[in-house]
Structure 1
Amino acid sequence: MNVSQVLHMNGGVGEASYSNNSLLQQKVISLTKSIREEAITSLYCSTSPRTLSIADLGCSSGPNTLLVVSDFIKVAEKLCRERNHESPEYNIFLNDLPGNDFNNIFRSLDSFKEKLRGEIETETGPCYISGVPGSFYGRIFPKQSLHLVHSSYSLMWLSKVPENINNNKGNISMASTSPGNVLTAYYNQFRRDFSLFLECRAKEVVEGGRMILTFLGRKIDDMCSKESGYIWELMAMALNDMVLEGIIEEEQLDSFNIPQYTPSPSEVKLEVLKEGSFTMDRLEVSEVNWNALDEWNDFACESHKFESLHDGAYNVTQCMKAVSEPMLVNHFGESIIEDLFNRYQEILIDRMSKEKTKFVNVTILLTRKP
């Protein structure tokens, strides 16, 4: 799998698009709002930059793409008014891999700017927005050009599928039944990738600049825990059933692995300390339900619970389809997709009826050292 070409969310604005199935990611972004406000407030108060350069790495497309940018600008404008400062100019850089639906983002810019003007009482400084295609596991910006870097639910994606994991049979990611060498290979790939990410950003972020990074992760260090990749294990169950029925070849399944590693807080912290260019100001762990619309009511009638469960499983299925369909189509072909996700939804209904299903988020706030 060539990750740089295949890894992207479903584009457009259709039923299976990421744009229409990214409420979960929006909830995760909302959980880190106070950390972002802390970052820009401390940065502005210490430097009062005349030009504020902000990069969102792994921006994808849809309603979440400009949400963080909007929050940053609102806080900056509030700080300017409080101090009677002139508004800075804003350089906004939206980065993702080349397969991302940048056209959808560009089409939304006029409405974004109009909405922003309506939400801010005073006139803001000029806002220049650019799309920056490319892997963040390499240099993508000039030296010392960024004041704020944000990334949410992107850094758990690896630059490539780890090597020498051919014995991860029946699995499509790190799983409770994965051999030890597979788990080690995933961890080592994460370490190399995240270390390179930090090294590259260290060159691009100004002294005193901030980074706010949120990973899909896990609370504990045990790589075999359900927090690692349980959502993918359930998809693997559906694929294994299709192998048993002769719909896909066993070799096809055994050669497919998701390039994703969900790190623990200690694993993230270790790489930051080893690379050495940033101080860690905050490290927080949070949780969010698989079903972003989950408002489970223990006192609801059984029929309502049944309907809610089915709706919830459908929501999770659509979210996972928006994220994984391009990779699955590239490897298995388009013909299996509808059948696969129908099976996957039935498995989710069963599991979500029996256990609490939550994603773990690891968020860090970093400051570039002098």
Structure 2
Amino acid sequence: MTEEMIHLAYDPEFDFRDLPKVSLHDHLDGGLRPQTIIDLAAEGGHELPATDAEALGEWFRESADSGSLPRYLETFDHTLAVMQTRDALIRVAREFVEDLAADGVIYGEVRYAPEQHLREGLSLDDVVDAVQEGLDQACETLNNEGHPIQVGQLLSAMRQADRGLEIAQLALRHRGRGVVGFDIAGPEDGFPPSRMKDAFDLLAENLFPATVHAGEAAGLDSIKDAILVGRATRLGHGVRVAEDIEIEFGGVDDDGETLDQDTGLVSLGPVANWVRERGIPLEICPSSNLQTGATAGFGEGIESHPIDLLVQTGFNVTISPDNRLMSGTGLSDEFELLVEAFDYDLEDLLDLTLNAAEAAFVPLEMRELLVEYINDYYADLLDEDDDEDDDEDYEEI
């Protein structure tokens, strides 16, 4: 472990929240504040499993920490129940951006399924407009206060429903007015992207980007379908692409030399090779993957998560929190988790952040500004570390 890694993992003065971040996989209905749920539930007469904010937050985390994606998704029954009015959506969206900013996020994409917010009479367009109003309110305030931040909407269509085309049309109507991309969410296994082929065809005809949940609850076939049918420009999670990677220890390399037992020869199957060679970004959410069992096939605990394998073998890896409430996490927490588990240093975190910035669904000019801002911040931070190392060397002399 280098001195810089020790600084990151154990220096009490280092705050991961200070690092500028880009969050690409962040669910609006998975990121509410517990107190907000309590307030909105009281207004709407919805019964909750707890009425104390701390206890309610703990209930969400425990319910989600089951290793089962279906049970994980059940926690959304309560968040969705309190997100059925215009005022509620505005508040939730506004607070969501505030929480992003507190996490160090300078660009984020928030995803949710408009079709799940119609119980109290809102139309699909009403839902999108309300969320955008909340996002705009928070972004304007934060930018005026000196925290640069921009947040775009990703509209999700639920896999088990038959409204994919309708949501794709909705996304296109709000193109240029806050909506930056399309997504499909919900139970992955048994509901492949090909069920929404008409939606993906329409989006492709209109050159509108899509990210597809794939490689989380289902494996390589789901990823392949997301690429071929969904024309996915990013993969939501995508972590199970690692199932298409083989490592042979003690094998023979391309030059005919026998490798020792500590050296592995990596080979990629067709799906993994396609994803890597085309640089398709993976929206990996480490804590969430552990909770839902997405990485159970690789072992238990963060140390067995294949993210480091994907990083080391050249995949385009980005990091996101997925559902901040259910996982009790933020992007800063995910960074710290990776530092502690895999000894990542500042340059590793920089690479992951730049990957996300370059994969954002915004115009090239905006991506270049994000990259410049992030590089400048890290350059100053790395210079500080170099200066500290020089001082220590001088003292030793």
TM-score (structure 1 length as normaliser): 0.28
Greater share of residues in helix: 2
Structure number with greater CO (CA < 8 Å, separation at least 6) is 1
